[in-house]
Amino acid sequence: MGLKYIEPIKSIVLLLLVLLSVLFTFSVWNFSPNYEPMEQSQTIDISIAEKKTIDEIIKPYKMVINLKDQVLGSIDASKIDIILSEMGNWEISDFRLVEQKMDKFKISQLLQQPSQMTLYFPGEVPMLVYDNVLLMSDTNITESTFNRLVIDWSQSTQLPLLHFISEENGLHYQAQILLTNKSSFLRNVVDVGQSVDEYVEIDRGNAPLLVVPKDAVTITRNTYYQEEINPHRFRDALFSDPNAVKRSQVDADRAEYGDDHAIMAINTKTKMLSYVMPAAESKEIAIPSELLLNTIDFINEHGGWTDEFRFAYMNPISRYVEFQLYVDGLPVYSDQAGTNEITHKWGTSRTFKYIRPYYTLDVNVEKIDEELPSGIEVADALKESDELDFDSIDEISVGYYLVHDENRRLLIAQPCWYYLIKDNWFRFMPAQYPGGGEQLGLE
């Protein structure tokens, strides 16, 4: 091969090398490795039941309507829900303080005025929480509470009013209702209010107002199968690292789950759960609205509303909140604390104590209507008691007494009358009168 071919060959080789370099570079840029698909890490489902909104948790248990010559009332949850649904359409404005320290007599006078409806709440509700339910345009809502909400349409030529009354603190706030549809207000508030049962006021002078049904009351006794929720689901929800939690059997009916920070005890007989984180305890007085909202958020985080639980009571000093089990719109009481309620103590930015049942009401296997005596008969029997100051009673109302049939795994909601004295509910038992009742207390 002559020298004259050397230079062309070099050029061809150089060109080939350049082309190969371009090809390799393009391949690297577009290379997609054929990795095996990565196994998804397992996540723990801690949603035990559905979340609830504030208007589902904070609800009145009774409504009383004052007309010109008549008092009506109802504990029918379906009728109360119609009122609450209508209230959700209102715009509330001109919120202002009317009186700072009303005594019980003045509160009773206000609640007895004609052309108005009073909604009875079981506990003192922070206004800064309930403004999530009502459309309140004012920004000057205070850190105050109420347990009676009065819808007042007595001034026919003016806008209806809302009165927020705290029987505990004697505070009276007032606001205007801006109606978008007046006919809807008349249909869903006034007309519904006039379609309920006849009630009577029990005259007690300066004592708190008592309003009870005039006639006998028919309530359904319900029998449910008891379904157990696996405690492991609460373990996974309440502990930051469930894998670090150890289980130990204390005795035949009790077991404990614990790590270095908290302990969860369960009673397999009563199906009650108690969770405590000692290091989170706080002695500071809580702000009412923050306490209630934080507690609702905590229970919503793990879907802890396993049945219908409603707000019942709050103590900002002890940082304590209670939610009570309800059946058919009526509160359920029990002589076994923790089996008919969810109680929570808020600590330092976290839960300090959490006590609740870990069962749920399953299939309703039997419904039987039972007739209870009238509210007048109950009031008369209580008035005749030598062991009871009748004027100290704050409320007389119907509820359910929870009976546990452990052998058949049944829960029976038995209709009963109850009366309230200083935050403690007592079951009215006619066979014991004149006498007393069985105490079912709050913290």
Question: In the chain, what are the domain boundaries?
Answer: 54-213, 215-443
pLDDT value for 354: 98
pLDDT value for 12: 63
pLDDT value for 6: 60
What pTM, to 2 d.p., does this model score? 0.86
What is the average pLDDT across 369-398?
93
pLDDT value for 113: 93
Peptide bond before 430: cis, by omega within 30 degrees of 0?
no
Q: Are β-strands 135-136 and 217-228 bridged in parallel, bridged antiparallel, or unpaired?
A: unpaired
For 222-271, the pLDDT digits (tens) are: 999 999 999 999 999 999 999 999 999 999 899 999 999 999 999 999 99
Q: Counting every residue, how long is the chain? A: 443
pLDDT value for 17: 55
pLDDT-based confidence at residue 336 (cuts at 50, 70, 90) = confident
pLDDT-based confidence at residue 140 (cuts at 50, 70, 90) = confident
Handedness of CA 104, 110, 113, 116 (dihedral sign): negative
- Residue 378, classed as helix, strand or coil, is helix
Alpha carbon of 231 to those of 15, 238, 257, 268: distances in Å? 74, 11, 9, 10
DSSP per residue over 18-78, as a string?
A: HHHHHHHHHHHHT----PPPPPPPP------S----HHHHS--SEEEEE-SS-EEEE--HH
For 83-127, the pLDDT digits (tens) are: 999 999 999 999 999 999 898 889 999 999 999 999 999 999 999
CATH 3.30.70.120 fits 215-443, yes or no: no
What mean pLDDT value characterizes the chain?
Answer: 88
